[in-house]
Amino acid sequence: MENKAHALAAGLFLLLLGLALAASVAWFQGDTTERVHYTVVSRSGVPGLNLKAPVKLRGVEVGWVDSIGFDPEDPRQILVGITVDAAAPVSASTHAQLGLQGVTGLSFVSLEETDAKAPLQRAAPGARLALKPTLLDRLADSGPLLLARFTETADRLNALLSDDNRAQLGRSLVQLEQAASDTSRLMAALQPGARELPVFLKDADATARRATAALGEIEALAADSRALAQELKTRVAVLDRLDGAAAQLQTTTRNLEVALVGDTPPRSRPLLGDIAAASRSVERAATDLGDQPQSLLFGRGARAPGPGETGFAERLKDGK
């Protein structure tokens, strides 16, 4: 009986000790943090997401997933209930994405800010957060289109690399090689000319300078010609006045001769003849100067041969 009493006492002691330890652990593990509930709305799947999956805000764990189910009002939507620390800065513009936990294939909910620089406006408790597709989701959605385009590109590449095109490409490469060889030979042929080019340019420069000097001389000659022409005009005007004066003198002399021939004594008649001859000489000189004004500067030209003179027959042939 005494041994049974000691065993019963020891068993009760161990039981009370275990209960005390359990109560202590429960006390120290008690969670007194204030939590807020939000709902993540997904119109696509949530692969790899389980209950109690972590919820992270910009990489910091702030809660967990407490429910996953279809929306009773719209079965095409999936509602994911999350519990988040009330101190976490969840704003009205926060959206959710699914992230992968290493290589396990399990997912977690990642909360991201749409505009991290905007003023913080906290989301109301129970607010709905949109679940946006990740890069892998977008790639998976566009996979068929990418595959179709890849197939189309492969078909075009096969058409481009057909036997005929490859043969044409080979011929083009041969022609390109020939063109490169011809270009090399042409460059080799042009090298002597290129070496002579500086000398040619130097001669061209000297020629240009000489041409400039010649143009200057031509301009000077043109200026002299204009001055000479102006002087000729002046002298022609003088000759015109001289011609007019000679004509007037001749008229006056004839009138005088007519007037005095009847009343002039015989001794004065030779004097009047001399005056008339002088006036005719002046008239001829004025006429010659009027026909050839250049004779005043360069002398009188050779007179055309008359009848019976040497060169008159050639003159008739030429029609001069």
Q: At what angle do helices 163-260 and 269-291 cross, to 10 degrees?
A: 170
Q: Could you tell me the pLDDT band of residue 273, with boundaries at 50, 70 and 90?
A: low
For tokens 């490409």, name the residue. Answer: 169
Report pLDDT for 256. Answer: 59
Q: Report, as an integer, the average pLDDT of 186-210.
A: 79
Q: Could you tell me the pLDDT band of residue 178, with boundaries at 50, 70 and 90?
A: confident
What is d(CA 222, CA 179) in angstroms, rounded to the nearest whole number? Answer: 56
Report pLDDT for 60. Answer: 87
Contact in structure between 56 and 108 (CB atoms under 8 Å): yes
Question: Is the CA virtual torsion 167, 173, 177, 180 positive or negative?
Answer: positive
pLDDT greater than 60 at residue 56: yes
Contact in structure between 256 and 272 (CB atoms under 8 Å): yes
pLDDT greater than 90 at residue 317: no
**More confident call, 215 vs 31:** 215
What is d(CA 139, CA 141) in angstroms, rounded to the nearest whole number? Answer: 5
pLDDT greater than 50 at residue 268: no
Q: Could you tell me the pLDDT band of residue 312, with boundaries at 50, 70 and 90?
A: low
For the stretch 91-132, pLDDT in tens is 888 888 888 887 777 889 988 887 777 788 888 888 888 888
Residues 6+ apart with CB under 8 A from 45: 78
For tokens 């058409």, name the residue. Answer: 159
Report pLDDT for 161. Answer: 75
Residues 6+ apart with CB under 8 A from 36: 83, 84, 85, 86, 88, 90, 125
Tally of residues, the chain: 320
pLDDT greater than 50 at residue 264: no
Report pLDDT for 32. Answer: 61
Q: Could you tell me the pLDDT band of residue 146, with boundaries at 50, 70 and 90?
A: confident
pLDDT greater than 90 at residue 221: no
Report helix, strand or coil for 195: helix
By CB neighbour count within 10 A (0-12 exposed, 13-18 middle, 19+ buried), where does 65 fall?
Answer: buried
